[in-house]
Amino acid sequence: MKNLILLIGNDINNISHGQSWKDLLQDIVTFCHVGDCIELDDKKPFPLLYEEIFLTASKKQKIREKDLKSFIAIKAAEIKGNGIHSAIRALKPTHILTTNYEFTLEGSTPFENTSLINEKFYSIFRRYKMNDINYWHIHGDCLNPMSINLGFEHYGGQLQMMRNYVVSGTVYTSKEVPKASLLRRIHAKQVYFHSWIDLFFTNDIHIFGLSLDFVETDLWWLLTYRARQKFHHKNIPVPNEIYYYIPEEYVAASKFKLDLLTANDVTIVSLPGKDKAAYYQSIITRIAKAN
């Protein structure tokens, strides 16, 4: 579909049989040999829990983060695709943004990184193109384990790079990367979609399968900054719409989050969600009809 943009999270993977997120957490604790001193409490924000696991292991076992993230990359790569992944590809969107590390959305592991630059750690330009669809792995990918965004420190660095790209300009040595900030380039009408971030200020985006917990500080900052530009600063035009899909059964319990999304100029779309596969198929059908 012409210029269709999707942002997709991990929940679509939960339709597939296999390892759950809770299983992965336990595997990480076991791999790090810290099961006797780490409590997997839901009240702990995951980026800080990751730091607790890694730092405890680092002090006790002298584990390298590279080894830990390589282990996580292997585990994530074991996730199997399902019919929803295929249905998403059948929409033929121009861009798919995802917080997922594996390549179930692509349907196979890509051969070529088509990013503007080859990022080892952060993910401002991380793109793979397959069958005319641009896939942006905004929190890293399995082929580059150190790019996998899990810990609080990594989130902080990612946000720093994002804010530079949008507000103050980049400091990359590559001549391919624009030095002027995204704000300046929008003013000059010189937006060439170098980064997935560009899309948040220019094109409609449909978000689903993503819980958008408050630990996703990078995405919440981006939504907030976009809304401030639209309603407060008004330095640039912000003509696009952002849609967030949620099962209607979760709406009441998620009111606090939905209120914040609404304040940040995000349109909430609720659909019946008791059957997970049917719920995601209904989103795909709705998007197909609207586009």
Q: Structural domain boundaries of the chain?
A: 5-14+81-290, 19-78
Question: For each successive 10 residues of the chain (291 residues), what is the average pLDDT?
Answer: 90 83 86 90 92 93 92 93 96 97 96 92 97 97 97 97 97 91 95 95 97 96 98 94 98 97 98 96 96 79
pLDDT at 285: 97
How big is the CA angle at 83 (ends 82 and 85), to the nearest 5 degrees? Answer: 70
Closest CA to 201 of 175, 226, 164, 170: 226
Taking the C-alpha atoms of residue 229 and residue 178, their distance in angstroms, rounded to an integer, is 21
Q: Which pair of structure tokens corresponds to residue 49?
A: 């829990």
pLDDT at 23: 82
Q: Contact at 8 Å (CB) between 225 and 182? A: no
- At position 64, the amino acid (one-letter code) is R
- Residue whose pair of structure tokens reads 């407060």 in the numeric block: 232
SS3 (DSSP) at 229: helix
pLDDT one-digit tens code per residue, 129-171? 999 999 999 999 999 999 999 999 999 999 999 999 999 999 8
Give whole-number Cα distances, 263 to 26, 182, 234, in Å: 36, 23, 16
Q: Contact at 8 Å (CB) between 273 and 248? A: yes
Taking the C-alpha atoms of residue 83 and residue 76, their distance in angstroms, rounded to an integer, is 18
Give me the helices (H) in the chain, please.
Answer: 21-32, 46-61, 65-77, 83-90, 152-163, 182-187, 217-228, 255-263, 276-290
Q: Which pair of structure tokens corresponds to residue 84?
A: 């929803």
Q: Which residues pair with 135 in a beta bridge?
A: 96, 128
Residue 78's contacts (CB-CB under 8 Å, 6 or more residues apart) are 18, 19
pLDDT at 62: 80
Q: Which pair of structure tokens corresponds to residue 41?
A: 């409490």
pLDDT at 1: 56
Q: Contact at 8 Å (CB) between 144 and 125? A: no
Closest CA to 245 of 232, 256, 235, 258: 258
pLDDT at 144: 97
